[in-house]
Amino acid sequence: MVIDVSDLNSIKLDKKNGTVVVGTGNRVGRIANTLARQGFIAPFGDSPTVGIGGITLGGGIGPLQRSIGLISDNLLEVEMVDAKGKVIRANKNCNSDLFWASRGGGGGNFGVYTKYKFKVHRAPAKATVFRITWPWNQLEKVLKVWQKWAPSVNFKLGSELTIGPKKGGNVSMEGLFLGYKTEALRLLKPITSVGTPTTSIIRLLAYIVGSYINVPDQGIKNSGQVYYGANYVRLRRVKAKYDPKKCVQ
């Protein structure tokens, strides 16, 4: 059974209290743009086509997580319908266990979620967006520097490093800085100085234009769906050893 929730697409911003209530049929881009036009931000992800339900109930990472947290950190309340058709509200004071489980645990399998209430934050007038690309064969040196740099750089700067396939792919870093280009260039220098970037785009935009980042598929052709995973890894070179005594046909 498939439940079409696309008509549940309301967006109600409460500027006085700094909150927004959105229907589960919304996609990230629509919410981010609506908030940005009215001078607010929330940590909605890096792709405008993702549904707000899936990204919220999974925890919700994005380019603003270092400055204002994950989506789940800004979730204040959910509304859902359980298997018996009962409408349930959950927040820190009411059905708090269900609210806890709806902030990244269980994948949203506790009912049909219909509304989400989030905390929102004032948006800066300007933001700097960037995309730097390196050849795939420079992956090792770029990854080593990025993993040391990314967690400690200014908290207003969020970045993602995407590794494409070895054949026909590349290494790409893109992100968002809640500030002006001059400062962004200074903060980015430790990573832009690595290797020989083939593309370097750093632009200052009105925040409404740069309110989300659309991550490309990094060379995956003719694919309607792309799966992204995230992790910190430890690189080490392994020298293969061949022992004929242990080889069995």
Read off φ and ψ for residue 163, nearest 5 degrees: -110, 115
Q: Which of 214, 32, 213, 58 is nearest to 120 (CA)?
A: 32
Angle at 88 between CA 83 and CA 91, to 5 degrees: 135
* Mean pLDDT of all residues in 54-72: 88
Residue 143's Cβ-side half-sphere holds a number of Cα atoms within 13 Å equal to 18
Q: How confident is the model at residue 44 (pLDDT cuts 50, 70, 90)?
A: confident
Q: How confident is the model at residue 246 (pLDDT cuts 50, 70, 90)?
A: very low
Q: For the chain, give the percent of residues with pLDDT over 90.
A: 59
This model's pTM is above 0.75 = yes
CATH 3.40.462.20 domain position(s) in the chain: 126-206
In angstroms, the CA 75 to CA 70 distance is 9
In angstroms, the CA 165 to CA 220 distance is 8
- Give, in words, the CATH class of 126-206: alpha beta
In angstroms, the CA 113 to CA 55 distance is 12
82-119 b/e (C-beta count within 10 Å ≥ 16 → b):
eeeeeebebbeeebeebbebbbbeeebebbbbbbbbbb
CATH 3.30.465.10 domain position(s) in the chain: 11-122
- Give, in words, the CATH class of 11-122: alpha beta
* Mean pLDDT of all residues in 144-166: 93
Q: Which of 161, 230, 152 is nearest to 195 (CA)?
A: 161
